[in-house]
């Protein structure tokens, strides 16, 4: 497998350091190619691209990656199972990133593929011609109740973390008797074989220590079998039997109690079991990173929606994705990435050369999982992730269904070195080693039904049928179908109270297994449900809503029938139509009617829930118009779009929202009393003072106060400049901030301007001096100017300026969320073109603050954002009311 290179190639590749170190750059506003992610997939694509592009184009390739370290994650299994040094799994990112590319050391915050732009955490927008998303997976320890609190102690650890993997080995050595449990979740994970690899290594370690007979070992997996490819699954089932490891399939970990040392599982049929443990190894649920999952790029499963052959996005033709965050239906391993990267590079180059019709290089589904089984042996499982057929490289010379020491030697000593020396220079192609693989091309006629199970799911079902000896074929199919993840069938369950799912058409055999999950079923069609017999146990209603393609227009009576049915049907409820689009419309209509939302707030809600009919479907205009036509159109406080700067006006007062386009994305608010002519500015930004004062003068207002919600780190306040422009202005900030100002407020203080009063409410957490300012106007919902404490579907960071996650959570929940539910939220920043929200909406839909405190604290701890670019200048200046030395 590993061949000698020519001397020239050897000297070019053996030492990565000969090329020099990469350095972070000051980002430009546009690049030809932007790669999001500096892990295995991102660096592989970047290094192969620059090797093939002329040097004058290297500066047009950018990689967005915030981390200082690059991790070789496959090494963590050996850290936890063999006691190796975890530090060997990390290298400085500067040593791995190709020095020819533009390394943007910042975190991607959001995507706007319809504008060919993405936004960085620092607030800057990047424009691209081609986007490659290689963001990997995130480990969601917080999704298992009790796990985040006990991981790393009480005998609980995981190899899926640089910090926690050494603890696995320590726990193995410390365990001398009792029960050891190893888990595998129902989500995709990095290297699907790793959860059982660590079990085999632990068993071998206990056997070598002479304590194996005193330890019971259980392997709980939420999947239908212990391995996807049937060829290797049969072998691994035998390995488990020989080692005395008891497998439990279709059994998912749902809770951990570290103090009591108990783990609770749910079986496929709903049975809940609890087991005590002395040692617990947890593979956490995983997903694409939140900034990916919350974008327009993903499919119903939350992964970047790409063609399984070309890795090209199914809706945005200049977007590609590979690796773990992509929807490619194969095992998520570096072996798969090494085969996907040359495909992506070939297709990106075709696009760059102006030949998009040649962007048809195709990935064949190859993946591999080197399964350490203990005793210095390894099973090298190579297979096609699309068909689940074994594809052994070494046959017929070596039988890859038998673990052997040669493959162990390669894993232990060779793969790591090949990774560090060849991958960063674009010279590692997995089973093809340093030689570029032949490129196959996709046939134009190939197509897929997006609502059908993925090929790997179909193959898994087929393999499951074969494994059920003595059962009928149909019974085996039914048993397997019951464990298909609903999202793989296009079933979407928005994160809202009420337990409502949305779906398109499904095969009858799958429908019969999905149906028992629900008590209510709403079918939007003018005919009887084609598989009504499969819906046994569900209360079914059928409502006719014309489809977008029928030419007929839905009416008010259709809307009334939908709302009545959804009110009536029990939960959990599934709403189904042919494509799933009208189902989303029905949900939005019901939510808007029951929550008394107008057309504008319903539009914002549809975007938050990522309802396909509203955000993606190009043929659903009539359905969107129908939903919005049933709703009130609201008043000017709820106008969407950053261009609408006048958010609220009345004969007595005004609220104007102004946006900083200089880079900080800060909202400044002009509040005024029209009868007295007194006004104030909240969070004014240096450089925008002429705009602010001109608008105030135009409206007949004289600024009385320049108020800051806290001491900002991303921009300098214009407070001192405003005082020079008009000495009448008084600067205001909280006393707790420690900053200079004319007025230093305490909790409960009020600022009077004309007939109105702005109440100061301490909401520390983002910084220790944060305040929310609440405006009360008769017969109008309250307005809360929350600064960075509460943003629309987010919040300020808590990792500097005396920030504290627990304190911020309490500030929001105990103070801001205690305001009336219709209180308007006016945030300090926004990066997605959003203007306002309400207390009720943030309670329900804020992805951070709708979680438990423990989950919130974990989320905030894992953000690892770079410091704001202006921090070193802005904070000292803002401590002196904007005065710069």
d(CA 739, CA 741): 7
Give yes or no: 577 in active site: no
Q: Which residues pair with 69 in a beta bridge?
A: 92
Helix-helix angle 581-594:621-629, to 10 degrees: 10
d(CA 273, CA 262): 10
Contact at 8 Å (CB) between 582 and 545?
A: yes
Kindly state the tokens that stand for 459: 């193959």
Q: Give the sheet arrangement for strand 573-576, strand by strand.
A: 500-503, 573-576, 520-524, 539-543
Task: Choose the catalytic residue: 108, 191, 620, 795.
Answer: 191
CB burial of residue 473 (10 Å; 0-12, 13-18, 19+): exposed
Segment holding 622, helix H or strand E = helix 621-629
Q: Kindly calculate the radius of gyration of the chain based on its CA atoms and give it in whole angstroms.
A: 29
Distance CA 647, CA 669 (A): 10
Contacts of 428 (CB under 8 A, 6+ apart): 44, 338, 418, 419, 422, 434
Determine the Cα–Cα distance for residues 589 and 614; give it in Å rounded to an integer: 12
Residue 417, C-beta contacts closer than 8 angstroms, at least 6 positions apart: none
How far apart are alpha carbons 865 and 808 in whole angstroms?
17
CA distance 584 to 501: 9
Dist. CA 132–CA 851, nearest whole Å: 31
Give the integer Cα–Cα distance in Å for 542 and 586: 12
Specify whether the CB–CB gap between 35 and 62 falls below 8 A: yes
CA-based nearest residue to 881, from 745, 768, 740, 725: 740
Which DSSP letter does residue 300 get?
A: T
Q: Is 369 a catalytic residue?
A: yes
For every residue of 416-461, DSSP letters joined together read: HHHHHHHGGGT---GGGTTSPPPPEE--TT----TTSPPHHHHHHH
In the set 229, 311, 369, 711, the catalytic residue is: 369
Find residue 646's DSSP bridge partners.
Answer: 656
Q: Are 442 and 310 in contact (CB under 8 A)?
A: yes
- The CA-atom distances, in angstroms, between 475 and each of 230, 466, 512, 608 are 19, 12, 12, 40
Q: What is the DSSP letter of 857?
A: H
Beta bridge partners of 780: 777
Residue 42: exposure state from Cβ atoms within 10 A (0-12, 13-18, ≥19) = buried
Q: Is 241 exposed, middle or buried (0-12, 13-18, 19+ CB in 10 A)?
A: exposed
8 Å CB contact between 679 and 752: no
Q: Which of 691, 750, 753, 742 is nearest to 719 (CA)?
A: 742
Neighbouring CB atoms inside 10 A of 267's CB total 15
3-state DSSP call for residue 682? strand
Backbone angles phi, psi at 357, to 5 degrees: -65, -20
Q: At what angle do helices 334-352 and 40-52 cross, to 10 degrees?
A: 40
Is the Cβ–Cβ distance between 185 and 266 less than 8 Å? no
Residues recorded for the chain:
885
| Residues annotated as part of the active site | 191, 369
């Amino acid at each position: 497998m590993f061949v000698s290179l020519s001397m020239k190639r050897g000297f070019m590749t053996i030492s990565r350091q000969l090329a020099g170190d990469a350095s972070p750059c000051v980002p430009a506003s546009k690049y030809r190619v932007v790669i999001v992610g500096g892990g295995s997939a991102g660096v592989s694509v970047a290094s192969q691209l620059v090797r093939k592009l002329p040097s004058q184009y290297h500066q047009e390739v950018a990689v967005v990656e915030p981390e200082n370290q690059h991790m070789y994650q496959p090494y963590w299994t050996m850290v936890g199972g063999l006691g190796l040094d975890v530090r060997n799994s990390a290298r400085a990112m500067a040593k791995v990133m190709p020095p020819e590319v533009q390394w943007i050391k910042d975190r991607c915050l959001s995507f706007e593929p319809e504008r060919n732009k993405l936004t960085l955490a620092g607030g800057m927008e990047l424009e691209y011609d081609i986007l490659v998303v290689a963001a990997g997976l995130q480990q969601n320890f917080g999704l298992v109740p009790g796990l985040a609190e006990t991981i790393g102690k009480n005998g609980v650890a995981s190899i899926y973390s640089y910090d926690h993997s050494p603890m696995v080995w320590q726990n193995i050595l410390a365990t001398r008797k009792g029960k050891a449990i190893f888990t595998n979740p129902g989500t995709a994970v990095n290297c699907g074989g790793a959860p059982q690899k660590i079990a085999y290594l632990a068993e071998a370690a206990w056997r070598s220590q002479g304590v194996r007979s005193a330890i019971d070992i259980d392997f709980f997996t939420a999947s239908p079998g212990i391995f996807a490819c049937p060829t290797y699954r049969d072998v691994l089932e035998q390995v488990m039997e020989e080692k005395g490891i008891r497998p439990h399939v279709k059994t998912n970990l749902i809770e951990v109690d570290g103090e009591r040392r108990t783990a609770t599982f749910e079986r496929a049929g709903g049975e809940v079991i609890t087991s005590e443990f002395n040692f617990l190894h947890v593979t956490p649920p995983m997903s694409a990173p939140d900034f990916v999952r919350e974008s327009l790029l993903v499919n119903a499963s939350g992964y970047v929606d790409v063609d399984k052959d070309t890795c090209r996005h199914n809706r945005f033709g200049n977007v590609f994705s590979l690796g773990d965050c992509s929807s490619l239906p194969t095992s998520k391993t570096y072996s798969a990435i090494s085969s996907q990267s040359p495909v992506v590079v070939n297709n990106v180059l075709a696009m760059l050369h102006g030949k998009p019709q040649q962007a048809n290089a195709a990935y064949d589904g190859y993946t591999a999982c080197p399964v350490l089984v203990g005793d210095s042996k390894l099973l090298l499982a190579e297979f096609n992730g699309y068909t689940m057929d074994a594809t052994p490289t070494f046959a017929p010379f070596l039988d890859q269904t038998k673990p052997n020491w040669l493959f162990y030697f390669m894993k232990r000593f060779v793969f790591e070195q090949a990774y560090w020396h060849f991958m960063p220079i674009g010279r590692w192609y997995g089973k093809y080693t340093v030689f570029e693989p032949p490129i196959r091309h996709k046939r134009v006629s190939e197509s897929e039904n997006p609502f059908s199970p993925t090929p790997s799911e179909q193959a898994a079902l087929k393999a499951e049928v074969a494994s059920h000896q003595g059962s009928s074929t149909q019974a085996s199919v039914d048993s397997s179908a019951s464990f298909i993840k609903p999202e793989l069938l296009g079933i979407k369950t928005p994160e809202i109270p009420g337990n409502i799912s949305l779906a398109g058409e499904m095969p009858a055999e799958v429908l019969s297994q999905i149906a028992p999950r629900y008590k209510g079923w709403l079918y939007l069609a003018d005919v009887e449900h084609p598989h009504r017999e499969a819906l046994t146990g569900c209360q079914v209603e059928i409502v006719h809503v014309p489809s977008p393609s029928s030419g007929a227009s839905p009416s008010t009576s259709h809307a009334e029938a939908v709302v009545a049915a959804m009110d009536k049907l029990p939960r959990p409820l599934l709403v189904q139509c042919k494509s799933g689009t009208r189902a989303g419309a029905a949900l939005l209509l019901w939510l808007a009617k029951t929550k008394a939302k107008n057309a504008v707030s319903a539009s914002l809600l549809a975007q938050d829930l990522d309802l396909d009919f509203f955000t993606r479907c190009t043929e659903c205009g009539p359905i969107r118009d129908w939903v919005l036509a049933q709703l009130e159109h609201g008043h000017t406080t709820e106008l969407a779009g950053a261009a609408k700067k006048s958010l609220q006006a009345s004969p007595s007062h005004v609220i104007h929202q102004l946006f900083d386009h200089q880079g900080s994305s800060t909202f400044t608010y002009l509040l005024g009393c029209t009868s007295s002519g007194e006004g104030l500015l909240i969070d004014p930004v240096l450089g925008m003072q002429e705009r602010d004062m001109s608008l105030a003068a135009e409206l007949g207002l004289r600024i009385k106060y320049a108020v800051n919600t806290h001491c900002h780190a991303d921009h300098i306040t214009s407070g001192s400049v405003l005082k020079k422009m008009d000495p009448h202005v008084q600067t205001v900030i909280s006393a707790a901030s420690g900053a200079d100002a004319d007025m230093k407020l305490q909790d409960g203080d009020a600022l009077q301007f004309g007939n109105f009063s702005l109440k100061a409410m301490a909401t520390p957490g983002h910084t220790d001096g944060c305040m929310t300012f609440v405006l009360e106007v008769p017969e109008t919902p309250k307005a809360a100017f929350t600064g960075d404490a509460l943003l629309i579907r987010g919040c300020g960071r808590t990792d500097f300026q005396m920030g504290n996650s627990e304190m911020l959570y309490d500030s929001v929940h105990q103070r801001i969320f205690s305001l009336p539910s219709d209180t308007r939220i006016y945030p300090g920043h926004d990066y997605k073109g959003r203007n306002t929200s309400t207390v009720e909406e943030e309670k329900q839909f804020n992805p951070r603050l709708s979680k438990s405190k423990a989950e919130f604290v974990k989320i905030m701890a894992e953000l690892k954002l770079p410091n704001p670019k202006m921090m070193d200048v802005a904070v000292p200046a803002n401590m002196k009311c904007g005065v710069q030395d």
